[in-house]
C-alpha cells in the first residue's frame, strides 16, 4: 500500500502537464460527427429534434433549427451495429444487426425505451430487410433466399410473430425489392413489376408489365402511401401499387429525385429537377397529381457540397394552417443539409469529416514581408543602391507590422506562419473522397474538394506525400495524394495544400502498396518511388524525377512471409525472406518515422553512459496465430534481414497497436488468460561503448534488449507517440481508450528498466520502481471530458517550440490540442503576471527615488546637528 | 485459498438465482443477458446528461448497452465467458465490474482486479454500478493568498535575518544603549590614557619578556572589554 502511494505520487509528479480549468478550449477543439446519413426520422413535432441513422452505425438526435447534435448513440462498429431500418416519424425505433436483429426504441431524451430481439429465425443463407411501422409498432422482415421469400411480421404490442410459408420468388435475390406502406412488397424484375400484398400472401406475386424498353431501371419505394418510382437514365415513372398489381400514374423526365410526404392525410409527391448547376426546383403534386403552385420551391446546395443523393421531405402546417415543408438533403460527399420551403439552408453538417483516413500537418508559408526579405537573398544582385533601398523599405514595413496589434496566440491571424509554429493547417483525406484543409487553431474548414474518382486503397487509407514543403518560397508547396481509382489502377493528385489548387492529376496503372521519397531535384521537388507488391512493379512519380536511388523495402504478406527487397534505379532484387511463425497472420508492421533523436545515450546512476541502439532500418512486425493463440513479436533489420529480437506472448490476442521510435518499441495486446489489456515496452541499447557516428546495419553489434510488460486498466484502441522539433523533450505515449479518452503515459512509466527492487543507483538515475499496473490519473487525460468517439488514428506534429507537440485525434470525431510532454520550459506560462511584475517594478523604482530623497534630507539634518 | 469454499458456496447461490432469471433466448444458442443498474437515485439533479451521454461498454465496446430512464441496462446476446463491464461518462467515474457467465448461464459479478484477476471480490448481480465520484481532470491553479505568503519557508529564511538586523538593535532597551555608549566612551578614554596598554602591546610583551605583574581583577576586566568590542 505504501509502495502504491509512492507510485501515485511519482505519477502525479511526472505528468504535471495536466490542464488548468481556465485553459479549457483555449487551444483545443472537438468536432462531433454522426457519419453519413442513411435514414431520417422527422421526430414527433415539427421544429423539434430530428433523428438520423447513419452509415457509421450511429443514431443521433439533431436540433432541426440549428443542426447541433443533441445526443447520439454509438452502436457497435461491426455488422451487429448496422442500422437496417429507422422509423420515419415519432420516437426513433430502429433495427440493428442481423444475427439476430435487435429492435430498439429510444425516448426523445436519449434514454432507451425498450429493446427486444426480433424473434423470427431467418432461413439459412437469406438476405434480410426490415421495415418499421412506428404507428402500429410492427416490424415487417423479409428474408430473401435463392428460391423464395419469407415474410415475418412482428408486433411489439402483442409480442407476436406471424411468419409466412416460403413464397416462391426465384427473382427476388437478384432484383431490387422494397416494401411500401408496410403492406405491399414490390420487386422490379427486368421490365416487370412483381407485387405481393402482405394481406394476401397466399396469392403470391402478381406481375405487371412496365411497357417500356428502357434498360438499367431502378426501383424506389416512396416513403408514404402505396407508390413506387421506376427510374431510368432519363425518365421516371410513378406507379401506384395495390393488391391487384401496379398501375402507371405519371411519367416525368429528367428528375434528379422523387419523394413524397403526407400531411393531413394527403400524400404530396415531391419532384426535384435540376434548374442550374447547383440548384434544384422542387415541385409538389397533390393527390390528383396536379402541381400545387404555392408549394413550388427551389433549393440551392452551397458549393462546398456536391449534388443531391437523397431527399427527404417533411410536411408541416404554418401558423395560418397553410401547408409547408422542410427538406433534408444528403449529398454524395456525405453532407447533410436542412432546407426550408423558401430554399434557405437552415443548417448543414459536413459528415465526411467523420470518415477521415489520412491526416497531414502542413506548415504555413511565411508572411509576405518575411518572404520579401527571403527573396533578397535568392535574387541576383542588382546594384548597391537598389538593394539598400529594398532593404530599408522592407525593414520599415517590418517595423510597421511590429506595431500592429496582434497576438500570436490569437485564433485567426491570417494564413501565415506565427512565431512559435503553433499555427499550421491540417490536410485531411476522407473515405468518401473529399479532401479538406482545416485550420488547426480554430477547426474551420479552409477549403474542401470532392473527388468522385479517387478512393482509399484496400487498407482503408490513401498515401499522402509532401513533395515540396512551404519553405521554398517562389515554388508552391506540393502535396500528393495517391488513391485507388474506381476504374482500376491508381490515381494521383498533386495539389497546393494551402490554396487547394490542383497541380497535377494522373492515372497510374499500378496498385500502390508502398512508397518512398527520393532526393529533391533542383526545384526542391521530391520524387516518389511507388511499388506494387502483387506485380512487383515500381514506377517513379513524377516521371521526370531523379531516378538515381537505392532504397530498401520490406513487404509483409498477410500469410506471414516477410521479404526484403532492394530497389535500385528501377531494378528490384529480393535480398532475404523470413517465414514468421507458422499459421500466423500479420497484425501490423511498425517502422520509425523521420525524427530527431537528441540524446545518444542514458546516464546511469554511476555516471556511466548506456548508449542507445538507434537503427533507422529496424522494423517491428507483430503476427498472431489463432490456432496457437499467441502473439509473435519480431524486430527485424530490413537491410540485412537479421532478427534483432523476437518474443511470443502465449494466450494473447489483438487488437494490437504499436509505436516504434528512437531505440524503443511499445505495443499493446490483450492477455486472454488474465483478461486484461497489457502494454509491453522493448528498449534496445548498444552498451557502454560509444558507437560509431553513422549507423550501419552491416557492422552493428547485437543490442542489449530490455523488455517489460505493464497492465493498463482500460482497453486501448490507438497508440501514438509525441514528436518535437529536436527530440530533446521527453516522449509521451498517447493511448486512446474505448471510452474515448486520450491518456498521456510518459515513456518513463513504460521504461523496461524500471527495477523491482530499486537500489541507490536506480534512485540516482531517477528510475521509477516497477509496479505492474499503470494507473493514469484523470489529470493525464489529454482531452479531459471531451471524449472522442471511435478514435481511428492520432496524428502528432512538432510545433516551432521544442517543448510543444500538436496532436489531432480523428475517428468519428475530430479533436485537436497541443501537449507539452516536459512542461512549457521554453515559453512563459499563460498565466504569467505581466501586469503584476510591471506594477512591482514601478513601485520599486518609485520607492528608490523616494527613499533617496528621504535619506538625503536625513543626512542634511544630521549634518546640522 | 481459505476463501475458496466460500466462493463455491456463493457460486451455488448465484446459480440458483440465475436459473430463475434465465433468458428467453438462452435455449438454443446459449446467449445470455447481462443486467444491471446504476446506483444513483433518479432525482439526482447535478447529473443531468446521464441518459444522453452514458455508454455501457463490455470488453471495450465488444458489446454495447444503453440506459433506460430508470438507469437500468441490459446487454443482450452475450456468450458465456468473462467480461469487463465499464460505464463510461465524460464526467462521472463509475466502478468497473467483471461479470462471469458460466456455460450453464450462471452469472456472478466481481470487483475488477487486474493484477490478481482470479481474486474473488463478490459484487451483487444484477449489477449495481456505484459512482466513485467525479473525474477531476484539472490541476489546481495556484492562487495568491496572504497566508501562503507568510508561511512560505523562503519568506522565513529571508525575513528572519532582516528582522534581526532591523529590530534587534531597537529591542535593546535605553539603559542597554546607555551602557554600551558608556563603555564605548570608557574605551575611548582608555585609549587616550597611555597607562592602559594596547592588546597587541600586551601580547608582544607577554610573548617577548615577562610583563610586569598586575592585579588579576584588571586583567579580567580587560578581557571582558575586548570581548565586547568584538561583539560590537
Chain B CB within 8 Å of residue A22 CB: yes
Q: Decide if pLDDT at A548 tops 70.
A: yes
pLDDT band per the 50, 70, 90 thresholds, residue A93: very high
* A77: chain B residues, CB-CB within 8 Å: 61
Q: Which of A201-215, A487-501, A843-857 has the lowest mean pLDDT?
A: A201-215
Instruction: Report pTM.
Output: 0.85
> Do residue B141 and residue A20 have CB atoms under 8 angstroms apart?
yes
Interface contact B114-A676, CB threshold 8 A: yes
Please answer yes or no on whether A100 and B57 come within 8 Å at the CB atom: no
Phi/psi at A779 (5° precision): -65, -20
Q: Crossing angle for the helix pair B216-231 and B174-192, nearest 10 degrees?
A: 120
**3-class DSSP state for residue A210?**
coil
How close B222 gets to chain A, by Cα (Å)? Answer: 34
Instruction: Test B141 with A109 for CB contact under 8 angstroms.
Output: no
- Sheet containing strand A571-579, edge to edge, reads A550-556, A561-568, A571-579
Q: Are A106 and A73 in contact (CB under 8 A)?
A: yes
Residue B177 has pLDDT above 80, yes or no: no
> Which residues in chain B have their CB less than 8 angstroms from residue A20's CB?
138-141
Mean pLDDT of B190-218: 62
pLDDT at B42: 62
Q: What pLDDT, on a 0 to 100 scale, did the predictor assign at position B140? A: 83
Determine contact: B129 vs chain A, CB below 8 A: no
Residue with cell 438454443: B28
DSSP B68: B
Pairing of strands A37-41, A218-221: unpaired
Of the ranges A502-506, A554-558, B80-84, which one carries the lowest mean pLDDT score?
A554-558
Does any CB of chain A come closer than 8 Å to the CB of residue B29? no
A21/B138 touch (CB, cutoff 8 Å), yes or no: yes
Contact A75 B135 (CB under 8 A): no
Burial A259-291 (b: 16+ CB within 10 A, else e): bbbebeeebbbbbbbeeeeeebbbbbbeeeeee
Is residue A429 within 8 A of residue A399, CB to CB? The reply is: no
Longest dimension (CA), chain A: 132
Q: Which of A21, A117, A773 is nearest residue B25 as measured by Cβ atoms?
A: A117
Q: Does residue B69 sit at the A interface (CB-CB below 8 Å)?
A: yes
Lowest mean pLDDT among A411-425, A488-502, A536-550: A411-425
CB-CB under 8 Å, B52 with A110: yes
pLDDT recorded at residue B10:
36
pLDDT at res. A34: 95
What residues contact A539, with CB distance under 8 A and at least 6 apart?
A508, A510, A529, A530
Q: Are A713 and B112 spatial neighbours (Cβ–Cβ below 8 Å)?
A: yes
Please give the Cα distance from A230 to A248 (Å, whole number). Answer: 10
For residue range A414-441, list pLDDT tens digits in order.
Answer: 678 888 889 999 999 999 999 999 999 9
pLDDT of residue A405: 61
Question: Per-residue pLDDT for B22 more than 80?
Answer: no
**Residue A703 gets which letter from DSSP?**
P
Task: Tell me how far apart the alpha carbons of residues A744 and A741 are, in angstroms, rounded to a whole number.
Answer: 10
Contacts of B57 in chain A (CB under 8 A): 715, 738-739
Supply the pLDDT for residue B43. Answer: 61
* DSSP structural state of residue A801: S
Cβ within 8 Å of residue A365, ≥6 positions away: A371, A415, A416, A417, A470, A473, A477, A498
C-alpha triplet A256, A260, A265: angle, nearest 5°: 165
The answer to whether B61 contacts A111, with C-beta atoms less than 8 Å apart, is no
Distance from B137 to chain A by nearest Cα, in Å?
4
| DSSP category for residue B198 | P
Judge residue B144's burial from the number of C-beta atoms within 10 Å of its C-beta, 0-12 exposed, 13-18 middle, 19 or more buried: exposed
Q: What is the dihedral sign for C-alpha A265, A271, A276, A277?
A: positive
**Which residues on B lie below 8 Å from A18 (Cβ)?**
137-139
Chain A residues with CB-CB distance to B72 below 8 A: none
| Ordered DSSP codes for A104-153 | EEE-TTS-EEEEEE--PPPPTT-EEEEEEETTTTEEEEEEE-SSEEEEEE
Share of chain B above pLDDT 90, in %: 21
Which of B67, B84, B91 shows the shortest C-beta gap to A785?
A: B91
Q: Which residues contact A279 (CB under 8 A, 6 or more apart)?
A: A298, A299, A300, A301
What confidence score (pLDDT) does residue A147 get? 85
Instruction: Give chain A's mean pLDDT.
Output: 88
- Asked if B86's CB is within 8 angstroms of A71's CB, the reply is no
Between A61 and B222, the more confident residue is: A61
Confidence of residue A455 (pLDDT cuts 50, 70, 90): very high
- Minimal C-alpha gap between A617 and chain B (Å): 35
Enumerate residues 104 to 123 of chain B having a beta carbon within 8 A of any beta carbon in chain A: 112, 114-115, 117
Nearest to A20 among B25, B93, B139 (CB): B139
Instruction: Give the chain A residue whose CA is nearest to the CA of B51.
Output: A111
What is the reported pLDDT for B167?
A: 80
**What DSSP element (H or E) covers A369?**
helix A368-378
Q: Which of A178-192, A602-616, B125-139, B175-189 has the lowest mean pLDDT?
A: B175-189
Instruction: Kindly report the length of chain A.
Output: 865
Instruction: Report, as an integer, the average pLDDT of A767-789.
Output: 92
Contact A714, A774 (CB under 8 A): no
Of B57, B67, B137, the CB nearest to A781: B137
The per-residue pLDDT for range A558-596, each reduced to its tens digit, is: 778 999 999 888 888 999 999 998 888 899 999 998 888
User: Which positions in chain B touch A22 (Cβ < 8 Å)?
Assistant: 141
Q: In A, residues 273-302, which contact B (CB 8 Å cutoff)?
A: none
| pLDDT at position A12 over 60 | no
Q: State the cell numbers at B77.
A: 446476446
The dihedral of CA B55, B56, B59, B61: what is its sign? Answer: negative
SS (H, E, C) A720-735: EECCCCCCCCCCEEEE
Confidence (pLDDT) at A450: 93
Put simply, whether A123 touches B (Cβ < 8 Å) is: no
pLDDT of residue A17: 59
A774 contacts A679 by C-beta, under 8 angstroms:
yes
**Closest Cα of chain B to A677: distance in Å?**
9
This model of the complex carries an ipTM of 0.85
A115/B60 CB distance under 8 A: no
- Cβ–Cβ below 8 Å for A107 and B69: yes
Look at A781 and B135 and tell me if their CB atoms are within 8 Å: yes
Give A 715-734 residues with CB within 8 A of chain B.
715, 717
* Average pLDDT, integer, range A199-227: 86
Task: Please list the helix, strand and coil fractions of chain B in percent, rounded to the nearest 5, in that order.
Answer: 40, 25, 40
Going by pLDDT thresholds of 50, 70 and 90, the confidence category of residue A859 is very high
- Axis crossing angle, helix A368-378 with helix A384-403, rounded to the nearest 10: 160
- The pairing of strands B138-139 and A19-20 is parallel
Q: Mark yes or no for CB contact A711/B114 under 8 Å.
A: yes
pLDDT beyond 70 at B12:
no
- The whole-number average pLDDT for the span A540-545 is 82
Q: How far is CA A73 from the centre of its chain?
A: 18
Whether the CB-CB separation of A575 and A564 falls below 8 Å is answered with yes
pLDDT at A18: 76
* Residue of A371, A314, A356 lying closest to A498 (CA atoms): A371
A445-455: average pLDDT: 91
Each residue's pLDDT tens digit, A287-334 = 888 888 888 989 999 989 988 999 999 888 888 888 889 999 999 999
Residues of B in contact with A11 (CB under 8 A): none
Mutate to test the interface with A, among B138, B140, B141, B142 (most CBs of A within 10 A): B138
Between residues 757 and 776 of chain A, which touch chain B (CB distance below 8 Å)?
772-773
**Of the candidates A88, A74, A85, A96, which has an alpha carbon nearest to the alpha carbon of residue A44?**
A88
Phi-psi region of A560 (alpha: psi -120 to 50; beta: other; left: phi over 0): left
Which of A398 and B101 is assigned the larger pLDDT?
Answer: B101
SS (H, E, C) B137-156: CEECCCCCCHHHHHCCHHHH
B111: closest CA of chain A, how far (Å): 13
* Range among A212-221, A796-805, B164-173 with highest mean pLDDT value: A796-805
* Residue from A303, A358, A357 nearest A331 by CA: A303
Q: Which residues contact A146 (CB under 8 A, 6 or more apart)?
A: A125, A170, A173
Query: How many angstroms from the chain centroid is the CA of residue B37?
Result: 33
**DSSP string across A521-559:** -TTSPEEEEEEETTTTEEEEESTTS----EEEEEEE-TT
Q: How far apart are CA A683 and CA B99, in angstroms?
A: 36
The helix/strand/coil state of A755 is coil
Measured CA to CA, the distance from residue B200 to residue A412 in angstroms comes to 81
Is there a contact between B68 and A81 if contact means CB atoms under 8 Å apart?
no
Least confidently predicted of A94-98, A365-369, B45-49, B206-210: B206-210
Burial B49-69 (b: 16+ CB within 10 A, else e): ebbbbbbbbbbbbbbbbbbbe
What average pLDDT does the segment A175-188 reach?
89
Per DSSP, the residues of A233-286 read SSEEEEEEEETTEEEEEEEEESEEEEEEEEETTEEEEEEEEE-SSSEEEEEEE-
How far is it between the farthest Cα atoms of chain B?
Answer: 126
- Of B7, B21, B16, B71, the residue nearest B43 (C-alpha): B71
Apex CA B123: angle with CA B120 and CA B125, to 5°? 120
Beta-carbon contacts below 8 Å between A and B: 118
B73 touches chain A (CB under 8 A): yes
pLDDT at B198: 67
Q: Take residue A555 and report the three cell numbers written for it.
A: 513487404
Amino acid at each position: 500500500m505504501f509502495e502504491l502511494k509512492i507510485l501515485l505520487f511519482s505519477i502525479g509528479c511526472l505528468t504535471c502537464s495536466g490542464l488548468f480549468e481556465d485553459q479549457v478550449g483555449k487551444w483545443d477543439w472537438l468536432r462531433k460527427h454522426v457519419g453519413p446519413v442513411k435514414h431520417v426520422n422527422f421526430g414527433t413535432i415539427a421544429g423539434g429534434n430530428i433523428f438520423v441513422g447513419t452509415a457509421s452505425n450511429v443514431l443521433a438526435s439533431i436540433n432541426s433549427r440549428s443542426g447541433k447534435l443533441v445526443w447520439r448513440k454509438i452502436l457497435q462498429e461491426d455488422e451487429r451495429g448496422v442500422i437496417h431500418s429507422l422509423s420515419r416519424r415519432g420516437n426513433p425505433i430502429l433495427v440493428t444487426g442481423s444475427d439476430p436483429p435487435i429492435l430498439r426504441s429510444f425516448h426523445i431524451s436519449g434514454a432507451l425505451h425498450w429493446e427486444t430481439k426480433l424473434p423470427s429465425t431467418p432461413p439459412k443463407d437469406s438476405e434480410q430487410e426490415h421495415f418499421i411501422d412506428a404507428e402500429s409498432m410492427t416490424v415487417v422482415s423479409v428474408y430473401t433466399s435463392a428460391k423464395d421469400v419469407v415474410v415475418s411480421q412482428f408486433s411489439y404490442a402483442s409480442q407476436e410473430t406471424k411468419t409466412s410459408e416460403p413464397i416462391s420468388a426465384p427473382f427476388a435475390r437478384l432484383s431490387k425489392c422494397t416494401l411500401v406502406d408496410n403492406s405491399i412488397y414490390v420487386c422490379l424484375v427486368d421490365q416487370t413489376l412483381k407485387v405481393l400484398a402482405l394481406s394476401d400472401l397466399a396469392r403470391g406475386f402478381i406481375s405487371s408489365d412496365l411497357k417500356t424498353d428502357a434498360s438499367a431501371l431502378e426501383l424506389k419505394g416512396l416513403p408514404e402511401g402505396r407508390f413506387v418510382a421506376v427510374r431510368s437514365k432519363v425518365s421516371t415513372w410513378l406507379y401506384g401499387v395495390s393488391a391487384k398489381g401496379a398501375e402507371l400514374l405519371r411519367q416525368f423526365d429528367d428528375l434528379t429525385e422523387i419523394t413524397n410526404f403526407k400531411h393531413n392525410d394527403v400524400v404530396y409527391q415531391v419532384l426535384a429537377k435540376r434548374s442550374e448547376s447547383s440548384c434544384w426546383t422542387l415541385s409538389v403534386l397533390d393527390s390528383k397529381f396536379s402541381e400545387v403552385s404555392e408549394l413550388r420551391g427551389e433549393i440551392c446546395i452551397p458549393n462546398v457540397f456536391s449534388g443531391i443523393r437523397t431527399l427527404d421531405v417533411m410536411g408541416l402546417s404554418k401558423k395560418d394552417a397553410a401547408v409547408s415543408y422542410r427538406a433534408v438533403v444528403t449529398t454524395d460527399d456525405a453532407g447533410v443539409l436542412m432546407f426550408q420551403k423558401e430554399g434557405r439552408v437552415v443548417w448543414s453538417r459536413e459528415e465526411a469529416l467523420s470518415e477521415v483516413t489520412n491526416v497531414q500537418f502542413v506548415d504555413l508559408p511565411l508572411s509576405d514581408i518575411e518572404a520579401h526579405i527571403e527573396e533578397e537573398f535568392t535574387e541576383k544582385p542588382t546594384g548597391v543602391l537598389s538593394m539598400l533601398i529594398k532593404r530599408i523599405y522592407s525593414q520599415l514595413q517590418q517595423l510597421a507590422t511590429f506595431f500592429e496589434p496582434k497576438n500570436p496566440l490569437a485564433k485567426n491571424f491570417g494564413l501565415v506562419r506565427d512565431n512559435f509554429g503553433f499555427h499550421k493547417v491540417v490536410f485531411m483525406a476522407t473515405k468518401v473522397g473529399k479532401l479538406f484543409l482545416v485550420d488547426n487553431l480554430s477547426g474551420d474548414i479552409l477549403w474542401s474538394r470532392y473527388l468522385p474518382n479517387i478512393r482509399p486503397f484496400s487498407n482503408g487509407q490513401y498515401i499522402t506525400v509532401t513533395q515540396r514543403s512551404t519553405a521554398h518560397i517562389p515554388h508552391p508547396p506540393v502535396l500528393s495524394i495517391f488513391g485507388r481509382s474506381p476504374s482500376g489502377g491508381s490515381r494521383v493528385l498533386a495539389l497546393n495544400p494551402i490554396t487547394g489548387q490542383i497541380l497535377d492529376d494522373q492515372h497510374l496503372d499500378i496498385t500502390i502498396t508502398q512508397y518512398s521519397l527520393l532526393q529533391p531535384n533542383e526545384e526542391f521537388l521530391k520524387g516518389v518511388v511507388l511499388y506494387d507488391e502483387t506485380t512487383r512493379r515500381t514506377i517513379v512519380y513524377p516521371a521526370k524525377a531523379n531516378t538515381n536511388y537505392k532504397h530498401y523495402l520490406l513487404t509483409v504478406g498477410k500469410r506471414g512471409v516477410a521479404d526484403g527487397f532492394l530497389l535500385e534505379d528501377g531494378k528490384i532484387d529480393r535480398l532475404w525472406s523470413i517465414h514468421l511463425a507458422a499459421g500466423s497472420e500479420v497484425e501490423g508492421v511498425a517502422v520509425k518515422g523521420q525524427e530527431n533523436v537528441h540524446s545518444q545515450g542514458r546516464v546511469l546512476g554511476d555516471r556511466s553512459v548506456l548508449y542507445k541502439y538507434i537503427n533507422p532500418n529496424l522494423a517491428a512486425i507483430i503476427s498472431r496465430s489463432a490456432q496457437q493463440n499467441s502473439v509473435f513479436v519480431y524486430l527485424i533489420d530490413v537491410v540485412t534481414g537479421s532478427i534483432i529480437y523476437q518474443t511470443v506472448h502465449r494466450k494473447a490476442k489483438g487488437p494490437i497497436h504499436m509505436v516504434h521510435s528512437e531505440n524503443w518499441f511499445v505495443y499493446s495486446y490483450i492477455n486472454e488468460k488474465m483478461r486484461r489489456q497489457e502494454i509491453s515496452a522493448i528498449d534496445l541499447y548498444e552498451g557502454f561503448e560509444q558507437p560509431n557516428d553513422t549507423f550501419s546495419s552491416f557492422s552493428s553489434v547485437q543490442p542489449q534488449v530490455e523488455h517489460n510488460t505493464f497492465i493498463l486498466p482500460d482497453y486501448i484502441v490507438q497508440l501514438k507517440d509525441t514528436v518535437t522539433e529536436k527530440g530533446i523533450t521527453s516522449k509521451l505515449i498517447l493511448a486512446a481508450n474505448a471510452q474515448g479518452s486520450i491518456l498521456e503515459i510518459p515513456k518513463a512509466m513504460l521504461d523496461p528498466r524500471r527495477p523491482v527492487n530499486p537500489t541507490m543507483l536506480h534512485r540516482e538515475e531517477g528510475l521509477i520502481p516497477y509496479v505492474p499496473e499503470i494507473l493514469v490519473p484523470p489529470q493525464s487525460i489529454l482531452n479531459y471530458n471531451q471524449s472522442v468517439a471511435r478514435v481511428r488514428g492520432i496524428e502528432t506534429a512538432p510545433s516551432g517550440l521544442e517543448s510543444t507537440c500538436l496532436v489531432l485525434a480523428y475517428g468519428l470525431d475530430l479533436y485537436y490540442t497541443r501537449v507539452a510532454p516536459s512542461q512549457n520550459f521554453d515559453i512563459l506560462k499563460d498565466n504569467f503576471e505581466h501586469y503584476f511584475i510591471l506594477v512591482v517594478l514601478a513601485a520599486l523604482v518609485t520607492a528608490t527615488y523616494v527613499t533617496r530623497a528621504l535619506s538625503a534630507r536625513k543626512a542634511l539634518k544630521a549634518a546640522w546637528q | 485459498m481459505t476463501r475458496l469454499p466460500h466462493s463455491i458456496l456463493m457460486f451455488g447461490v448465484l446459480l440458483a438465482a440465475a436459473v430463475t432469471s434465465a433468458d428467453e433466448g438462452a435455449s438454443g444458442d446459449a446467449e445470455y443477458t447481462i443486467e444491471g443498474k446504476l446506483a444513483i437515485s433518479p432525482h439526482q439533479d447535478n447529473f443531468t446528461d446521464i441518459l444522453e451521454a452514458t455508454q455501457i461498454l463490455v470488453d471495450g465496446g465488444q458489446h454495447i448497452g444503453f440506459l433506460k430512464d430508470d438507469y437500468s441496462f441490459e446487454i443482450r446476446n452475450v456468450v458465456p465467458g468473462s467480461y469487463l463491464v465499464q460505464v463510461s461518462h465524460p464526467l462521472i467515474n463509475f466502478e468497473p465490474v467483471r461479470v462471469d457467465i458460466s456455460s450453464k448461464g450462471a452469472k456472478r459479478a466481481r470487483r475488477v482486479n487486474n493484477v490478481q484477476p482470479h481474486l474473488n471480490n463478490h459484487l451483487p448481480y444484477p449489477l449495481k454500478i456505484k459512482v466513485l465520484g467525479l473525474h477531476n481532470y484539472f490541476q489546481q491553479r495556484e492562487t495568491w493568498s496572504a497566508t501562503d505568503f507568510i508561511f512560505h519557508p523562503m519568506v522565513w529564511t529571508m525575513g528572519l535575518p532582516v528582522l534581526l538586523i532591523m529590530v534587534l538593535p531597537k529591542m535593546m532597551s535605553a539603559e542597554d544603549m546607555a551602557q554600551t555608549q558608556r563603555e564605548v566612551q570608557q574605551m575611548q578614554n582608555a585609549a587616550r590614557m597611555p597607562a592602559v596598554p594596547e592588546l597587541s602591546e600586551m601580547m608582544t610583551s607577554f610573548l617577548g619578556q615577562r610583563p610586569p605583574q598586575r592585579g588579576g581583577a584588571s586583567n579580567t576586566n580587560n578581557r571582558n572589554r575586548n570581548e565586547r568590542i568584538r561583539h560590537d
